[in-house]
């Protein structure tokens, strides 16, 4: 019985250490969107599986180069943006319709709100 209890304790410690290291790696990433875009992106929820971000960009404002893992983006309002994708260097102008949801592969980009109203997205990044 004692051996089983000590193995369970060791397993819990290892899992906790792994979660801590994963979280720390994300927190120290210089292109992490929550660090780079702290003026426009706010953390709503985070655990070992997902990170949910509220992203609002005022008209004419740009988010600097940052990256996201793959995930889902939900538009809460109609939005017009210009997105630069790295390292390819491609530029795309997008009109997003309120209520739409899109899947995005992992990407590094910068985003500018080229519309006349604030954008508002909920982003669900998968770990």
Per-domain boundaries in the chain: 1-30, 31-126
Say what the pLDDT of residue 2 is. Answer: 61
31-126: CATH topology is Jelly Rolls (2.60.120)
Say what the pLDDT of residue 11 is. Answer: 55
> 67 is written with which tokens?
């990256």
Say what the pLDDT of residue 59 is. Answer: 98
Say what the pLDDT of residue 80 is. Answer: 98
Is omega for the bond preceding 110 within 30 degrees of 0, making it cis? no
Whole-number Å distance between alpha carbons of 79 and 89: 22
Alpha-helical runs (H) found in 30-70: 33-36
pTM of the model: 0.77
**Which portions of the chain are predicted below pLDDT 50?**
none
Say what the pLDDT of residue 28 is. Answer: 77
- The predicted-structure confidence for 61-74, as pLDDT tens digits, reads as follows 999 999 999 999 99
């Amino acid at each position: 019985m004692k051996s089983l209890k000590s193995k369970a304790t060791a397993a819990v410690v290892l899992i906790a250490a792994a979660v801590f290291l994963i979280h720390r790696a994300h927190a120290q990433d210089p292109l992490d969107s929550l660090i780079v875009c702290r003026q426009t992106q706010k953390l709503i929820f985070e655990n070992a599986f997902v990170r949910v971000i509220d992203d609002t960009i005022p008209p004419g404002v740009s988010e600097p180069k940052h990256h996201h893992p793959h995930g889902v983006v939900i538009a809460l309002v109609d939005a017009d943006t210009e997105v630069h994708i790295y390292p390819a260097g491609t530029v795309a102008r997008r009109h997003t319709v309120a209520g739409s949801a899109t899947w995005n592969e992992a990407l590094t980009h910068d985003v500018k709100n080229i519309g006349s109203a604030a954008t508002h997205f909920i982003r669900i990044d998968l770990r």
